[in-house]
Amino acid sequence: MMERIGTVVRLQVQRSSLKAGDRPRRWYDPTPIVSVPTLTLDANGVTGWAEDGTMVPDVHNATHPATKFRGENGVSFGFTSHYVKMRERFGDHLTDGIAGENILIETDRPFREEEFVRGVRIEGADGTGIDIGEILFAEPCAEFSRFSLCYSIDTPSDRRVAEALQFLREGTRGFYAEVEGDDGCIRVGDRVYLL
């Protein structure tokens, strides 16, 4: 029996990388994040669809010209409960969705990678759904950690960055996954279940 864990409250794509600049002066820039009402998923990854039907490709889709697709990161998701934790630690600038996940799920408890051993199912009002498996926590990056700490580009990294990286690990920052089985469509309001 599946356990319902939440509801999709936001869908979004990254039009380009959220890391800007060149090392060692690189920073996190959430500007390329675009909210969409619908996502489609297939073996290549995620594609967003605007209200008017315009396709909005995600940078993690294998067909994107500047793709960051690695196989295991075709789709990403996070939880509103994790944003509550992040805001408690870092501040209100960490608004829901700012970490760049494709699917934001409203729930009242945090989740860890081991809870997703069998994957999740996202199901629409008509009962059709898509299974997402091979779920791994998204390793946080130094750029997002520095953004969380409100560091400027020229502020040197210190132990607080290392502590932020540790705090954001194991799913707090979000999760990556592969699409299993048939292609699918996800909309705001869809229900999410643990398989």
Q: Give tens-digit pLDDT for 153-195.
A: 888 889 999 999 999 999 999 999 987 666 889 999 999 999 9
Domains of the chain: 3-194 (2.40.33.20)
Number of H helices, E strands in the chain: 3, 14
pTM of the predicted model as reported, rounded to 2 decimal places:
0.95
Burial of 107: CB neighbours in 10 Å, binned 0-12, 13-18, 19+: middle
pLDDT at 181: 61
Q: Give tens-digit pLDDT for 109-139.
A: 999 999 998 999 999 988 888 999 889 999 9
Contacts of 24 (CB under 8 A, 6+ apart): none
Q: Give tens-digit pLDDT for 35-81.
A: 999 999 998 999 999 999 999 999 999 999 999 988 788 899 999 99
d(C-alpha 169, C-alpha 65), whole Å: 29
Q: Give tens-digit pLDDT for 4-38.
A: 999 999 999 999 999 999 887 899 999 999 999 99
